[in-house]
Amino acid sequence: MATNVFDMCPASWKQVISEVRTWARLNSIWAVHFNSGSCNGCDIETLATLTPRYDVERFGIKLQGSPRHADVLLVTGPVTRQARERLVRTYEQMPEPKFVISIGSCSISGGVFEGCYNVGGSVDEVVPVDVYIPGCPPRPEAIINGIIQLLTHVKEGTRPVAKRPEQTAEVASSQQERVVA
Amino acid sequence: MNTEQVLKQAENLLGTWNKETSHPDPTRLDAVVDTNDLHASVQAVHEAGWGYLTAITGSDLGLVDGRMEILYHFCSGPAVLTLRVRQSRDVQVVVPSIADVIPPASFFERELQEMLGIHVEGLNNSDRLFISDDWPEGVYPMRADFTLEQAAPVSVSHAAPLPEEGVVSGNTFVVPIGPQHPALKEPGHFEFTVDGEIVTAARMRLGYAHRGIEKAAEKRNWNQNLYLFERVCGICSHTHAMAYSMGVEKLAQVEVPLRAQAIRELVAGLERVHSHLLWLGVAAHEAGFDTLFMYSWRDRETVMNLLEQITGNRVNYSANVLGGVKCEIGPEQSRSVKEGLTYLEGRIRHYLDVVTTDVMFLNRTRGIGTISFDEAVRFGLLGPTARASGLVRDVRVEAPYGAYLRYPVSAVTETNGDLEARFVVRLKELLVSCFTMRTIVDNLPEGPLSVRVPRKIPVGETISRMEAPRGELFYYIRSSGGETPARIHVRTPSLCNWVSVLEKAVGRQLADVPMLIAGMDPCFSCNDRMVTVSRSGGSQTWSWEQLRQHGIEYYKR
Ligand code: SF4
């Protein structure tokens, strides 16, 4: 519905509308947190990022209860078998454009839990990831850095090219193609 | 009565059921009983009021030995009684349920069923415990012959509704909470059946954070496991690492230097402060008191700074090594610890004032979720949740270990047993911890920080109990003389405290539920085991696939 109205607009309007959107988006990133079986270390550091010392709310970032209201999915943990399907569904419920930040070594590669029988391996095998924040757990400063990287890309209207050490150029380029809607 | 007499008493209680007695160490009594006598002996011990059931460990002794062992651990002060049942692993292992005598045992028994395929007779609950929904039938991860290939997921339809989705059936309405929910910082799932605003039934399912650490530990060497167990839980990581290393040191018969013991206790104290302040914030947040949340997390950063200064990391600090610690407390560190503690003590007193005088807050806590002393005993509660009901369950006091012998702490108890009491107990406990930490810093014994622990640990088994911020943490460690452990079993305090939420939610308003959950300070990562949810069908006009597709399309824009 809204799409049609937008499509009918003249090009100059579209330009203005897009700019307004980007501006709004940049200043009000709402995040939803999903724990896919982490040890809690990353979760408490994520929470610490939101509280007075580090206070990412000054960038307009807010933790949101429902995935339906969120722009960014913060995933921690190595994706246990029981959490896998729930993670997919949480992701699907988020409105576009949506971004995923994978926090902590174990969400990137399984980390210390690699090879455990109930652990899938990594978040990017389940949902596409935009920013990786390594560390066990990453410091709040690192988390802020990851968020800022994401914001920079939102500003430019591109997807961040997420890099994992072992990631092939192919995957990276396919990720770049997914331009922000 | 001293420990010896207490153990003698247990031996008398067991009488002729006891087929083989041994004393692995002076505080332990190990009794082999027949499967047929198990129920009677448990009943005798329980009815005589001898301690409490702390854990049930099941272990597969392997193909060569050909047996399975089920150990029932009871604790009374420092004394530990272990009832040992052995059966051949080649046929279906069957043990009687003791949940009719000791209700909380059902949690442990369901773990036996799930992990080892032991049939527990009389436990009429064969639902999934903490293994995922797509786990194949008849495969048990803790068996010696388990391989990863056996556990290939059975296919689950991506389109099917998940068991957690809410249902309306007949006149009851079920409110599903979790696994992703604003009131939960960790994944768990609760189902509250409500009649209007009043909860009429409560169930929960955990297992979202179950990773399979106990099995993984059998593949890693003693040293690697230290870092693995530290990551059972990022909040009480030091306690886990400490319980593990103290167990291993006991097996290796290594004496940890006094200085190292003192530093361990100091870090454990700081961890308790960080954990309780974190909890205070989250609990206040559940009550809608976000100002308190922000303030307590701001003050918590003081502790985080201290931890970082001492150990080099904010979370998962790895202060322990096998045989000691790796961080030194120099004059600079002790100065900052003392400064930090002075500031924190002031703040904690202030919070104590807030939670006992703020009228709005008291409306959410006073007289809510009250657990009487008797109930606390019956539910088998541990830690601050038990102490708020006047039940002294504190390993630091009951069975002092390590440096707690030299720097004792006193148990803090309250008698009201409601949510307010749980706030008060935790905060007062912090003041005690602060005092002890100050004493430690002022009186640090001189000496080395660690001693060498051999790569191979001698054959044997041991029990290591420790007071984590949430209650008694229990480790059972068995070595077969190699570079890797033969079996490690962890029982975390949250597991024992769940009953308090499920029992107390019934009859209360739904709005009190988040507070009740927060009141016991649950740690999902720690305990991940569960009580399962059953799903009753509800009518839907749209098929699930349609609804889901609609949702995806709708939000595409
Ligand atoms: S990365 Fe480390 S701290 Fe973070 S959840 Fe995983 S194990 Fe815990």
pLDDT in tens, B243-261: 999 999 999 999 999 999 9
Going from N- to C-terminal start, the domains of chain A cover: 27-180
A181 confidence band (pLDDT: 50, 70, 90): very low
Task: Provide the pLDDT for residue A84.
Answer: 83
Residue B502 has pLDDT above 90, yes or no: no
B301 confidence band (pLDDT: 50, 70, 90): very high
Of the ranges B147-151, B178-182, B331-335, B440-444, which one carries the lowest mean pLDDT score? B178-182
C-alpha–C-alpha distance, residues A66 and A63, integer Å: 9
Interface of B with A in 533-552 (CB under 8 A): 548, 551-552
Query: Average pLDDT in the A35-49 region?
Result: 87
Task: Provide the pLDDT for residue B3.
Answer: 82
Cβ separation B298–A53 shorter than 8 A: yes
Query: Average pLDDT in the A143-148 region?
Result: 89
Task: Provide the pLDDT for residue B165.
Answer: 58
Which tokens is A91 given?
């992701």
With a CB cutoff of 8 Å and minimum separation 6, the contacts of A73 are A31, A32, A34, A67, A90, A91, A94, A98, A99, A100, A101, A127
Which one is the CATH code of B3-146: 1.10.1200.10, 3.40.50.150, 3.30.460.80, 1.10.760.10? 3.30.460.80
Task: Provide the pLDDT for residue B437.
Answer: 92
Residue B267 has pLDDT above 70, yes or no: yes
Under 8 Å between Cβ of B81 and B71: no
Under 8 Å between Cβ of B315 and A137: yes
Could you give the ipTM of this predicted complex?
0.82
Task: Provide the pLDDT for residue B541.
Answer: 37
Query: Average pLDDT in the A118-133 region?
Result: 85
Task: Provide the pLDDT for residue B299.
Answer: 92
SS3 assignment, position B96: strand
Query: Average pLDDT in the A6-19 region?
Result: 83
Query: Average pLDDT in the B465-473 region?
Result: 89
Cβ separation A39–B219 shorter than 8 A: no
Residue A176 has pLDDT above 50, yes or no: no
For domain A27-180, the CATH architecture is: 3-Layer(aba) Sandwich (3.40)
Q: Which fold has domain B255-451?
A: Cytochrome-c3 Hydrogenase; chain B (1.10.645)
Percent of chain B clearing pLDDT 70 (strictly above): 87
Under 8 Å between Cβ of B248 and B264: no
Q: Which residue has the higher pLDDT, B221 or B202?
A: B221
Task: Provide the pLDDT for residue B542.
Answer: 43
Query: Average pLDDT in the B331-359 region?
Result: 92
Cβ separation A78–B232 shorter than 8 A: no
Residue B533 has pLDDT above 50, yes or no: no
- pLDDT per position as a tens digit, B425-452: 999 999 999 999 999 999 999 989 999 9
For residue A40, give the nearest of B212, B523, B548 by CB distance: B523
Task: Provide the pLDDT for residue B27.
Answer: 87
Residue nearest to atom 2 of ligand 1 (CA): A136
Interface of B with A in 143-182 (CB under 8 A): 146, 148, 151, 153, 156, 158, 162, 164, 179-182
Residue B213: closest CA among B532, B530, B528, B531: B528
Q: Which of A3-12, B183-192, B526-535 holds the top average pLDDT?
A: A3-12
- pLDDT per position as a tens digit, B307-323: 999 998 888 888 999 99
Q: Which atom of ligand 1 is nearest to the CA of A105?
A: 1
C-alpha–C-alpha distance, residues B437 and B407, integer Å: 9
C-alpha–C-alpha distance, residues B34 and B119, integer Å: 16
